[in-house]
Amino acid sequence: MFLPLLLVSFSAVSSSKIVLQRNVFLAATSTCMILLCWSKSLQHTGNIVTTARAWSTISTGSNRLIRTNTFLTAAATRDDDGEEEVNGSVQKPPEGKTGWNHNPPKNPDFWNIAEQVEEISKSVEESEPKFQTGWLHNTKSPANNGAGTKKNKTSGKKSNNAAGMARRRLEEAMKAQRENHRIVSPGALHSCGKDRQIVVTEHRVSVPIVHTEKEEGTNRPAMRVAMPKSPTDFIDVAFTIVEEIKDEETRAWYETEFPTLTPKQRAAAYVKRCGMTSAKDMLLYLQGGPGFGAPSPVTALCFAKDGGSWGSAALDRYSKVVLLDQRGTGKSSPLTKQSLEQRFPGLFAMDNIAEVVSTDFTDQIHTMDRLEKAHPEEFETFKSSLDETTAFITQFRADNIVRDAEMVKEILMYTPSVDDDEEKDVDDETNADKKCASQPNPWGCSLGQSFGGFCTMTFLSQVQYPPKITLLTGGIAPMLADSAFDVYTSLWKKVKERNMLYYDMYPGDVVTVKTIVRKLLQLEKEGATIRLPSGGKLTARRFLQLGMMLGGSPSSFASMHYLLSSAFLQPISGKDDTNEFSRGFLKAVDNQQPFDEYPIYFWLHESIYADANNESRLGKERVEGDDTDCATRWSADSAYQAKVNQKLSGVDYDYRVTSQEDSDLPVLFFGEMVFPWMADDYSECGGVGCTALAHALAAKKDWGPLYDATQMRAALNDGRTRSAAAIYYDDIYVDFDCCMEVTARDGPLEKCKVYITNDYQHSGLRDDGATIFNKLYGMATGSIRTPS
């Protein structure tokens, strides 16, 4: 397509007898190509294109300007509900077809490229003196040149202003197309008691899968100027905004005008009505995980005035609470086996034709060799797609999550449109925008729970102006640990202690757990399978993953006991006990284990410890001589096997031994660890493709940086952010000793004020959110003196 455009542009310029310098010609040609290709790329997505005349400017090597009358395209973008927005009205889309050739533009002018370029040339010929090269053509005296410039000063300014407006319109159209900001449904109004009414708006924006570097001299991630090569270059990120309705006019607007708009119109109207030019009054919530979406307002998070949740406390201090569904989670573009089947079908090319892939990490190379020999053609497709999928999932870590958050913040800021004040000098407005863009505009506050706290530390490491106040609850990354293996070795001790506390409260469950595990081991030995409603299978090892429940709220022990008491079907009176598992128990086990719905947790959990900035290099001690290796290699499983092999007095981590009737030791539940065998036991984590993917991520050596101790110290020392953290002494998910090392004197978070407590478990923010939020907020701002 580019070669015909080049020839047409050349002939049009020649026919108008304009002699251009080589660099000017290339610039003009490139501009035409970009504009026309951009319009056709919009056709490729099924959009309806309308044409508008505008002025644009092309800067030449001799600093002279040519004003050209060009055609700029503005796209009517399809909203999520399948409707299209055309000239302010809503139309149903035509039958879906692939390829832009199936949906040709109805406007015949679109195809008249030669006529368009010729008209451009004519307008240049009429509005400007002919461009001439060589010193012989420049016969006017400097005085005359000066006089001419002076004479046309006013008209030149008007022309430049018109050109600037055209440029701004193009930039605004491309920015709107790129960001694709929508509010997917009309805002929902909720009464929260004590004269508080809130409105909840659900937003979606498009973000690049791979973020480019930050713009020089600004706090914003660099934005792509060109249109994406393909829609698959972008994913959706969803976020929910909760704010209080404080006047009747606002309430009426949400109830009457807002519902009549399309999703894109709603987003534009929302940003304009809010008119925010600063993010200081917004709080960003970063959810735990990785892999879980943000809590749902009202149903999972209360915002009542003087309520007990952190949401209530946050809305008392900030006008907007932004609940981010981190990429791949919640209502954002999902990252699941099902979504990967659509995006990377080649990854599953062997799922139905090859033998089951071994989940043994050490046997992975031999397994791949066998597959390649048995199915060479399918294996080539599979291997290529495996590499692409691995690179794709690598982009779903904290470094890109914080860049997504920065994009969300910038999209919510209001920038007056060029059409809001056409008389204003656009050059002055552009300069003002540049000046504004270079000014710090951080979030007012961020609250990071668990993995959200890890993301907060990445914020402090990689964003020049992190949130003004950063609060972390149960979420300090062990960035100074030598390896993920060491982190899990310490966590296994915490898990053992938590198990003992549970059995102290429910000593009768020692026998119950032994009976369940022994029954499952016997079934496995016989080759029998207990299928769960999700399609996965209940094995002894999967059953022990219920230990994730033990690190939660004060009622977690009672919830575990209730679940175990329902394990077996009650025998009919007069008949023998068959120890048959009840269906209710099987369904409850399924509901407690989220890995099928949230496989990011399985695929990327250990990667949160894979930090290229760690001087020790994760995994270095197990791969001598390779100081760039930060592969995790199923560290939790390796640490567990080491514990099993230790055979310490009074404790045994091997459930195959402790489940036997002659053992006096209790069976120990696991914690939040992930294991390679999960690909066998969970239906949405298994198959040839997903198993190989999990191994590829575990073996990945070249993970990027997540944490930067120098940058974190600098952000805290110079006052760009003030920070406070809650560290839970009995936390079985985040190691206490590692947290204390990071926050100790001379540590990266030395200036972060720390609240240490054993009153709460890892779920403290959910259990007593308002108390913890107010405590940390007061510590960060100085109104509460802790430490004393």
285 with 401: CB under 8 angstroms?
no
Span 742-751, average pLDDT = 96
Q: What is residue 169's predicted lDDT score, i.e. its pLDDT? A: 81
503 against 112, higher pLDDT: 503
Q: What is residue 62's predicted lDDT score, i.e. its pLDDT? A: 37
49 with 107: CB under 8 angstroms?
yes
Which residue range(s) make up the domain with 63?
2-91+100-137+159-179
Q: What is residue 418's predicted lDDT score, i.e. its pLDDT? A: 64
User: Who's near 339: CB < 8 A, 6+ residues apart?
Assistant: 333
What is the distance between the alpha carbons of residues 647 and 737, in angstroms, rounded to a whole number? 24
Helix (H) or strand (E) holding 472: strand 469-473
Amino acid identity, residue 215? E
Give 222's DSSP letter: P
Q: Which residues, in sequence order, are bridge partners of residue 71?
A: 53
Q: Does 201 have pLDDT greater than 90?
A: yes
Q: What is residue 501's predicted lDDT score, i.e. its pLDDT? A: 96
Amino acid identity, residue 780? A
Which string of b and e fits 47-80 if b means at least 16 CB within 10 Å?
Answer: bbbeeeebbbbbebeeeeebbbbbbbbbbbbbbe
Question: Which tokens sit at 84?
Answer: 């299209």
Q: Does 614 have pLDDT greater than 80?
A: no
Question: How does pLDDT run across 472-492, given as a tens digit for each residue?
Answer: 999 999 999 999 999 999 999
DSSP secondary structure letters along 740-763 = HHHHSTTSTTTTSEEEEESSS-TT
Is position 32 within any domain? yes
Average pLDDT value for the chain: 80
Is position 468 within any domain? no
What is the distance between the alpha carbons of residues 245 and 199, in angstroms, rounded to a whole number? 7
666 with 509: CB under 8 angstroms?
no
What is the distance between the alpha carbons of residues 268 and 415, in angstroms, rounded to a whole number? 11
Burial class (CB in 10 A: 0-12, 13-18, 19+), 329: buried
Question: How does pLDDT run across 110-145, given as a tens digit for each residue?
Answer: 444 444 444 544 444 444 444 444 444 444 444 444
What is the distance between the alpha carbons of residues 180 and 440, in angstroms, rounded to a whole number? 25
Is position 398 within any domain? no
Question: How does pLDDT run across 621-637, given as a tens digit for each residue?
Answer: 444 444 568 899 999 99
Q: What is residue 427's predicted lDDT score, i.e. its pLDDT? A: 55
Is position 604 within any domain? yes
16 with 121: CB under 8 angstroms?
yes
For the chain, the maximum distance between any two Cα atoms, rounded to a whole number of angstroms, is 119
Q: What is residue 219's predicted lDDT score, i.e. its pLDDT? A: 39
- Taking the CA atoms of residue 454, residue 456, residue 458 and residue 459 in that order, the dihedral angle to the nearest 10 degrees is 170
Span 187-203, average pLDDT = 93
Give just the sign of the alpha carbon dihedral 232, 79, 93, 74. negative
Q: What is the pTM of this model?
A: 0.78
What is the distance between the alpha carbons of residues 309 and 773, in angstroms, rounded to a whole number? 9
Listed in sequence order, the DSSP H helices in 55-191 are: 113-127, 142-151, 153-179
Last residue of a domain, one of 668, 699, 730: 699
Beta strand pairing status for 84-86 and 89-91? antiparallel
CB 730: neighbour CB atoms within 10 A? 16
DSSP secondary structure letters along 544-567 = HGGGGGGGSSTTHHHHHHHHHHTS
Last residue of a domain, one of 699, 714, 741: 699
Question: How does pLDDT run across 539-594, given as a tens digit for each residue?
Answer: 999 999 999 999 988 899 999 999 999 999 987 766 666 689 999 999 999 999 98
Beta strand pairing status for 197-208 and 182-183? antiparallel
Q: What is residue 570's predicted lDDT score, i.e. its pLDDT? A: 84
Q: What is residue 160's predicted lDDT score, i.e. its pLDDT? A: 66
Last residue of a domain, one of 663, 678, 699: 699
Q: Domain tally for the chain?
A: 2
Helices 484-505, 736-743: crossing angle, 10 deg rounding: 130
Predicted confidence band of residue 360 (pLDDT cuts 50, 70, 90):
low
Q: What is residue 36's predicted lDDT score, i.e. its pLDDT? A: 46
What is the distance between the alpha carbons of residues 574 and 563, in angstroms, rounded to a whole number? 25
Is position 621 within any domain? yes
533 against 138, higher pLDDT: 533
Is position 725 within any domain? no
Question: How does pLDDT run across 272-282, given as a tens digit for each residue?
Answer: 999 999 999 99
Q: What is residue 400's predicted lDDT score, i.e. its pLDDT? A: 97
Is position 685 within any domain? yes
Which string of b and e fits 677-707 if b means at least 16 CB within 10 Å?
Answer: bbbbbbbbbbbbbbbbbbbbbbbbbebeebb
Q: Does 514 have pLDDT greater than 60?
A: yes
Q: What is residue 68's predicted lDDT score, i.e. its pLDDT? A: 36
Burial class (CB in 10 A: 0-12, 13-18, 19+), 512: middle
Q: What is residue 357's predicted lDDT score, i.e. its pLDDT? A: 56
26 against 165, higher pLDDT: 165
Q: Does 650 have pLDDT greater than 90?
A: no
Q: Quick check: helix, strand or coil at residue 239?
A: strand
Give the percent of the chain with pLDDT over 70: 70
197 with 244: CB under 8 angstroms?
yes
Helix (H) or strand (E) holding 66: strand 65-76
What is the distance between the alpha carbons of residues 619 and 238, in angstroms, rounded to a whole number? 35
Q: What is residue 142's predicted lDDT score, i.e. its pLDDT? A: 45
Helix (H) or strand (E) holding 364: helix 364-374
Q: Which of 137-151, 163-177, 595-609 has the lowest mean pLDDT?
A: 137-151
Q: What is residue 272's predicted lDDT score, i.e. its pLDDT? A: 95
Q: What is residue 437's predicted lDDT score, i.e. its pLDDT? A: 54
Q: Which residues, in sequence order, are bridge partners of residue 235?
A: 207
Predicted confidence band of residue 159 (pLDDT cuts 50, 70, 90):
low
End-to-end CA, the chain: 70
Is position 563 within any domain? yes
Question: Which tokens sit at 372?
Answer: 């390649």
Percentages (nearest 5) of helix, strand, coil residues in the chain: 50, 15, 40
Q: Which residue has the tokens 């015949």?
A: 108
In 3D, which of 75, 87, 83 has the Cα closest to residue 38? 75
Q: Which of 130-139, 343-352, 356-365, 703-712 has the lowest mean pLDDT?
A: 130-139
Which string of b and e fits 121-133 if b means at least 16 CB within 10 Å?
Answer: bebbeeeeeebee
Question: How does pLDDT run across 228-259, given as a tens digit for each residue?
Answer: 445 568 999 999 999 999 999 999 999 999 99
Question: How does pLDDT run across 389-403, given as a tens digit for each residue?
Answer: 999 999 999 999 999
666 against 131, higher pLDDT: 666
